Structure 1
Amino acid sequence: MSRWIEPVTLEGEHVRLVPLKPSHEAGLAGAVCDGELWKLWYTFVPQPHKMRAYIDTALYMRDRLGAHPFAVIDVKSGAIVGSTRYFAVDEANRRLEIGHTWYARRMQRTALNTEAKLLLLTHAFEKLDAIAVEFRTHFMNHASRTAIERLGAKQDGILRSHQVSRDGVLRDTVVFSIIQSEWPAVRANLNHRLDR
C-alpha cells in the first residue's frame, strides 16, 4: 500500500536526515547528553536510558499513523546529533507537522538546524505538495517560539491547557504554520540565512 510520506533521506551541505532505526539508539543517547536536554521542563526529550522506548514510539507512529521520524546527522563529523519527525499527518488535507525535534546543545542555532528545516519544508511543499506545515511548542519555550518565527512561520493561536506534561502541569501549546503560498518567501529567507 502506498503512503503519502515514504521513507526518504534528505541531505544538504551541513546535515543528513535519515529514516530513524533502532541502531541509532547509542548515537541519540550520546547526543541527548550534550546539554542534558531531558532536564528541560517545558519540552519532552528522552533520558539516555529511555532512548529505545523513544525510538519504539517513533516507529509505532510511523507504522500506524503515517509519521516519518529521522535521525539527524552532522555531515562534517558523521555523528548523530538529534532527531526530528514529520507527524500529525493528515493526508486527505495535505497537512503535516514538523516536531519532536531536538539537537545536541552544540548544534542548536547553527546552520545545521536551518538547513534541516529547509530540507524538511522543501520536501513537504515541493515533493509531497503539502498545503500547510505546522509547528507546535510549549508557551514557555521561548527559544523554540523564536526559532519557529525566524523560519517565517505565522502564529495561528494558543491552545490553552492543551496537554498534561510528565509532572502533571498543564501545557499551553503555541501553534504556528507555513502555508503553500508563503513557501517561496520562507524558502528565500532560509537560503539567505544559510548563505550568510
Structure 2
Amino acid sequence: MKNNWITHPIILKGDQITLLPLEKEHLADLFLAASNKEIWELTSINYSVDTIFYPNFNNAIEDREKGTAYPFIIVHKTSNKIIGTTRFLEINPNDKKIEIGVTWIMKEYWGTTVNLECKLLLLDFCFENLKTNRVQFRAKDNNTRSRKAIQKIGATFEGILRKDKIEPNGIARNTAFYSILDDEWENVKQNIKKQIEKKRTTL
C-alpha cells in the first residue's frame, strides 16, 4: 500500500547535479550510462546487461507507486546528461527510518564531488524534510569501493550480516551495514560540505 510519507515528485537540486524522479523515458539514457562494465566489477548485479537492467528499473518505478522505493536519476547540470542513479528503499514511516542505496555513477565522475553532493541532497531531504531518525546504507562486504564511499560521508559501521542475501549466481553474500542518526546529522553534514569544498579547490 502506498504511504504518504514521500510525496511525488521529488526534485533535489545541487551545485553540480540534479536528482529527478526516474521515469520510463529516462531508461534508455540510464542504460547507456550503465554500459561500462568496470562499474559492476565489485557488485552483485551487472546493470550493463539489458535483460537485467530493464526489469530492475521498471520494477523500481512500480515500487515507487507502491510506496516501497523512490528511484532517482542523477543529472549532471553542465552537460544535462544522465550519469547515474540512486534511490530510497526500505521506506518505513512508522519507525521513521529509510535506506539510501542502488547508487552508481559513470566512471568518469568517480572521485569528483558528484557522489558527495548526491548524498548531501538525499540526507538533507531525509533529516530536514522527512524528519527521519535513521538513514541506513549497505554494501556487499567485499565491495571495498562502495564501503569506502559510505564511510567517507560519515556513516557508522554497524556490522556484517553473514549470508544475508542470495546473489543472482546463487551464491550467498555477506552484507555490511552502516547508518547515520538524526542527532549525528549536523556533524555529518558539515563534514560532507568540507569534503566537497576541498575537492572543488583541488580538481
Shorter-chain TM range is over 0.9
Q: Structure 2: how far apart are the matches of 1:163 and 1:71?
A: 26
Shift of 1:142: 0.6
Q: What residue number does 1:60 align with?
A: 62
Shift of 1:36: 4.5
Q: How many residues align?
A: 195
Q: Structure 2: how far apart are the matches of 1:183 and 1:91?
A: 18
Q: What residue number does 1:49 align with?
A: 50
Do the aligned residues in 1 keep the contact of 2:37 with 2:46 (CA within 8 Å)?
no
Shift of 1:162: 0.3
* Structure 2 segments unaligned to the other structure (5+ residues): 199-203
Letter aligned with residue 154 of structure 2: G
Amino-acid identity (%): 32
For residues 12-161 of structure 1, what are the structure 2 equivalents within 5 Å? 12-38=14-40, 40-50=41-51, 51-161=53-163
Shift of 1:52: 2.5
Q: What residue number does 1:179 align with?
A: 181
Q: Structure 1: how far apart are the matches of 2:59 and 2:98?
A: 18
Shift of 1:89: 0.6
* Helix, strand or coil at the partner of 1:77: coil
- Label 1:48 to 1:13 Cα distance change in 2 as closer, same or farther (>3 A): farther
TM-score with structure 1 setting the length = 0.94
* Helix, strand or coil at the partner of 2:34: helix
Q: Structure 2: how far apart are the matches of 1:65 and 1:184?
A: 28
- Label 1:150 to 1:30 Cα distance change in 2 as closer, same or farther (>3 A): same
Shift of 1:93: 0.6
Do the aligned residues in 1 keep the contact of 2:97 with 2:135 (CA within 8 Å)?
yes
Do the aligned residues in 1 keep the contact of 2:36 with 2:48 (CA within 8 Å)?
no
CA shift digits 1:113-147 (9 cap, x unpaired): 11000000000000000000000000010111111
- Label 1:171 to 1:2 Cα distance change in 2 as closer, same or farther (>3 A): closer
TM-score with structure 2 setting the length = 0.91
* Helix, strand or coil at the partner of 2:193: helix
Find runs of 4+ consecutive structure 1 residues off by over 4 angstroms.
none
